Structure 1
């Protein structure tokens, strides 16, 4: 009887350990990202010199176009109306190994000061500030926190909500 009980307990322990290890390899992040389309809520641009914040501006406050970011389970993605331009940019996305950075290789048309058109990959290396059921916040630009004390850097913060 003791032997059967010991065998049963050993089997239960093995099953629990196996099931726990199996779950470590799974990630809920792709499901959060691909569950539906993300709509842009705001874009903030913050300028720093070293660690000192010089100013913050909110962009696209007068844009009448709905800007959406769509991530698909096959790792394709698209951004509609980037920076309030009637256009669709497409590419591929993936998470970095540590799941802290979103990498999307799509090229978007942008306008720089002076009215000159340019092509940019704004989400090629985007730090994930927040990814939840209802919101996604990405930071792009000079996100390296170890810049020199005299170097100016610009960080763009894109905030999205589920559509």
Structure 2
């Protein structure tokens, strides 16, 4: 893929993107979707009757427990008023990936991981927290890490 950028004061204020290709590919589809999507700047959590604004980049992982969704930042858990699938949809292509049916992790916060005897991965975050990746999602995680995390 070739990328050509033309910066010139004679252009209008509005940015214009042109994609030239022989045929429509999955790579082009992903690029178009990425360009159209607005990335979330903040997520609102609730802790002790207070609303707290969170920066998604600082969050280690999101998890669901007892029909509630929580964000874990440096070992501290804060409840969200969202469903886990809504969090996943909102943070797609931002470095968050599904670890299991009940966990979505931030691969940009991963420090290391260890293979467990049953085929799952134990992921250790920079904050010291840890979470497990089920076998179903291990290959997706490896692919994301090899691609450099954030898309």
Task: Provide the TM-score with structure 1 as the length reference.
Answer: 0.23
Question: Computing the radius of gyration over CA atoms, which structure comes out larger, 1 or 2?
Answer: 1
In proportion to residue count, which structure has more strand? 1
In proportion to residue count, which structure has more helix? 2
Task: Provide the TM-score with structure 2 as the length reference.
Answer: 0.25
Task: Give the number of the structure with larger relative contact order, counting CA–CA contacts within 8 Å between residues 6 or more apart.
Answer: 1
